[in-house]
Amino acid sequence: MTAIELHDINKEFGSGLSRVKVLNNVNFKANKGELVLVLGPSGSGKSTFLTITGGLQTATSGDVTLDQNNISKISKRDMENFRLNKIGFVLQAYNLVPYLTVKEQFKLVDKVKKSHNLDNEQLMTLLKTLEIDDLINKYPSELSGGQNQRVAIARALYTDPEIILADEPTASLDTGRVDEVGELLQSLAKQQNKAVVVVTHDLRLENYADRIYEIMDGSMTERVN
């Protein structure tokens, strides 16, 4: 079942002589049960693609359909509820609250999304899988970049989203950790029937992908094996 579909997406910033086209007639599809990679170098339009896919910003033209909903035609409040309940974001900046411990990051999520999150046993299993279960009383400033990245991944998965959108989730990780995250994301797609989209320049994730798109200078093509 198609979970994500982008049709002829264009994105421009600025106007007149300063106008810059960041995405050029992008077409993309991800199904439930798939891990889909979008590969490209820095500045290729990957992050813009991801934020438009997740409804964090709007396209200049084109349509984004998530779980059969054309998100350009729903209200801002409905989009916010959709993101809260259906989408898990893993962003490069981690977005962890600096004055909250790892444990408290998840308690904060509970205050915003009050139901259908992982239970305590499921959360501890996830934290153990990511090898951060012994860090639950630490603050982000006490963690390494890789540890913060894994906490951010866990927080995104805590809401049990149907769609997972990840922006360079392995950028701060060594090869062993990359394999763990790749296996986890692949497992979520296959065993829990989630649509997982990862934008990255990390070729180490290729082995875990069902399909791969490549983006360069705002234009996207699907790799044919």
pLDDT tens string 57-85: 999 999 999 988 898 888 888 898 899 99
Q: Rounded to two decimals, what is the model's pTM?
A: 0.90
Domain ranges of the chain: 2-13+21-222
What's domain 2-13+21-222's superfamily in CATH? P-loop containing nucleotide triphosphate hydrolases (3.40.50.300)
- Antiparallel, parallel or unpaired: β 35-39 and 20-31: unpaired
pLDDT at 16: 79
Q: Which stretches of 35-116 are DSSP H helices?
A: 46-53, 76-86, 102-112
Q: How far apart are CA 58 and CA 169, in angstroms?
A: 23
pLDDT tens string 23-41: 999 999 999 999 999 999 9
Q: Which of 222, 206, 169, 161 is nearest to 28 (CA)?
A: 222
Average pLDDT of span 162-183? 88
